[in-house]
Amino acid sequence: MKYTEQAIVFNCADCRLIGIATQPETPAETGVLIVVGGPQYRAGSHRQFTLLARQLAGQGVASMRFDYRGMGDSEGDMRNFEAIDADIRAAIDTFLKHAPEVRRIAIWGLCDAASAALYYAHTDTRVSRLILLNPWVHTEAGASRVRLKYYYLSRLMQRSFWTKILSGKIELSKSVGDLSKSARSAAKGESSTAAAPSDPRHGSPGYIERMLDGLKRFQGEILFILSGNDLTAQEFVALTQRDKRWKKLCHSPRISSETVKKANHTFSSQTWRGQVETRTVQWLASSGKSI
């Protein structure tokens, strides 16, 4: 399907933000708002979001991608994903104004944008669905547990690991040091209300609890897309297995989950990006079936 792209300036508080609306000739009722996560801007790592927007448009889905305040081309000071509610709201207002055929919004967010989407979604009735990729639930203890489970234990089973140790290519003392450090950190008790990454830019204490709260309150459908080879995705999976509240919610029929095998955190290949695009389009087309 043919599509057009429109560059738009809009306001949020006293800042000018830049976004791009990509629209097919006859768009579906649900449009996609692409929210940017991590150290990026609206085009995405290796242009993932630009290319996604064009794939969506080719399949009849309108989208908008934008830089929130302090990001990319938009004005304002840098801010983290916990403070972008007003930006998302302004972007949705702008998107709907420019795409009158769009009635409902699906927010698509990778990494900490997935976390931001969970904070926001239940506060806006226009948002009916969420597509969340490798949601950011990082804590030091969580990462250590994942490193222990996926990295060290799996490596102990590998023949090549032992070959490298025996041939001196891996320093045994360093590996043991890393392992015991991870074990200590993983064993450290932490209350989930206080848990946070060591760098405050990546989440303030209790941010994962607030995500859970958003997940509980949001009544629409959610698709989680996870990378097969990514610590962030593994931390999320570990959380949904370990924490009963996450586990219960993630088993609800309105939530589905898929893994893109071997993909890294940003899906940095044509093949992985393509799989994400295909799943996004298919899932959007299957609207409302599970509720």
Q: Decide: 235 and 203 in contact? Cβ < 8 Å.
A: no
Whichever of 44 and 214 has its CB closer to other proteins, that residue is 44
Nearer to other proteins, 50 or 257 (CB): 50
Q: Segment 34-53, which members bind other proteins (CB under 8 A)?
A: 39-48, 50-51
CA–CA–CA angle 82, 88, 92 (5° rounding): 165
Segment contacting other proteins by CB under 8 A, of 99-107, 131-139, 209-217, 260-268: 260-268
Sequence-separated (6 or more) residues with CB below 8 Å from residue 206 = 192, 193, 194, 195, 196
Q: Among 2, 7, 198, 289, indicate the residue that binds other proteins (CB under 8 A).
A: 7
Task: Provide the minimum distance between the beta carbon of 283 and other proteins in the complex, in angstroms, as a whole number.
Answer: 23
Distance in angstroms (rounded) separating the CA atoms of residues 145 and 123: 33
Name the one range near other proteins by CB under 8 A: 1-9, 136-144, 210-218, 275-283: 1-9
CA distance 274 to 277: 5
**Residues within window 110-149 making contact with other proteins, judged by CB under 8 A:** none
Q: Which residues contact 162 (CB under 8 A, 6 or more apart)?
A: none
- Burial of 219 by CB count in 10 Å (0-12 exposed, 13-18 middle, 19+ buried)? exposed
Cα–Cα distance for residue pair 54/135, rounded to 1 Å: 23
| Shortest reach from residue 79's CB to other proteins, in Å | 11
Contacts with other proteins in 197-226 (CB under 8 A)? 201
74/280 with CB nearer other proteins: 74
Q: Which stretch binds other proteins (CB under 8 A): 15-23, 107-115, 122-130, 245-253?
A: 15-23
Instruction: Rule CB under 8 A: say whether 20 interacts with other proteins.
Output: yes
Q: Does residue 73 bind other proteins (CB under 8 A)?
A: yes
Residue 97 in the binding site for other proteins (CB under 8 A): no
User: Cα–Cα distances in Å, from 141 out to 16, 116, 175, 246?
Assistant: 39, 22, 18, 17
Can residue 266 be called a binding residue for other proteins (CB under 8 A)? yes
